[in-house]
Amino acid sequence: MFAYRHGYHAGNHADVLKHLILVTLLDALRRKDKPFFVMDTHAGDGGYALDSAMAGKLAEYADGIGRLWPHRGLHPAIDGYLDAVASYNTEGRFAQYPGSPLIVAGRLRVGDRLLAVEAHSAAGARLDELLSDHANAQVLRGDGYAALKAALPPRERRGLILIDPSFEVAGEFERLTEALRLIHHRFRQGLVAIWYPLLGHKPAAPWLDTVQNLGIPDILTAELRVGPPTQGPGLYGSGMLLVNPPWGTESQLREVLPMVSECLNGHRDGACVRTLVGERGEVAPRA
């Protein structure tokens, strides 16, 4: 966990999926006048220079945000995400990619609040710097899972918990399961968004089966694949598990993600959105 640095992967296809959905959820929260709380349990550096040696080593952004960047006007949700990225790039120059904390901070209103948790010391220092001008954003150093218990329920009684671990340590899916149980117990009405990888050697399907049987209603998954499943360690796509998605989220993602897939892959078949558990707790059949 402490060796992982997201700067090598900033702006890749996984970030496109994660941050497009994040913007969609934040905009849904903003539709009501009441303040909301956002907790980012694995916040990272907060922002990334795409012209840095770290980002340039793999240049994964070229096949992620780089492919979507020219395609404005496809859908308001895509434009909202691109606008969030563009706000950190001046004069049309595409050189900076905002991480989740900056995207959240840019959409907070007076009274809204962000708690960004990061365990890596260097990333936490950078996060402190980037969020220093945001009075309603707090940075906490430490383990994001451990911080959940103290942070929930939030005083705002509405909001979003974003969990985006590196999946570089054993037992990550088990920790996610326990986190879901805790959130459901302490913040049942809150939105939850969990990013997970699609890896041939470590499939997410067994974990999704476990989630279906937790007794938590209203769960949706949205996946974006950029290649065929492999047996090796390579990431061929990723997914977002959403608990309590706002009304209309599923239909919007069914419309938007095939467009994103076409921009990234040249075809619309890389997108998959499905109900995992219905609003009344009914478990959906496997696809």
Q: What are phi and psi of 20, to 5 degrees?
A: -65, -45
Annotated binding site for S-adenosyl-L-methionine: 19, 42, 100, 118, 143-144, 164
65 neighbors 200 (Cβ within 8 angstroms): no
Annotated binding site: 19, 42, 100, 118, 143-144, 164
DSSP 177: H
128 neighbors 43 (Cβ within 8 angstroms): no
DSSP 43: -
Which of 164, 209, 218, 269 is labelled catalytic? Answer: 164
33 given a catalytic annotation: no
Distance of CA 87 to the CA centre of its chain: 19
d(CA 222, CA 46): 24
Q: Which residue has the tokens 């959905």?
A: 21
d(CA 140, CA 119): 8
Question: Please, what is the end-to-end C-alpha distance for the chain in angstroms?
Answer: 33
Q: Which residues of 66-98 are buried (b: 16+ CB within 10 A; e: fewer)?
A: bbbbebeeebebbeebbebbbebeeeeebebbb
- What residues are labeled active site? 164
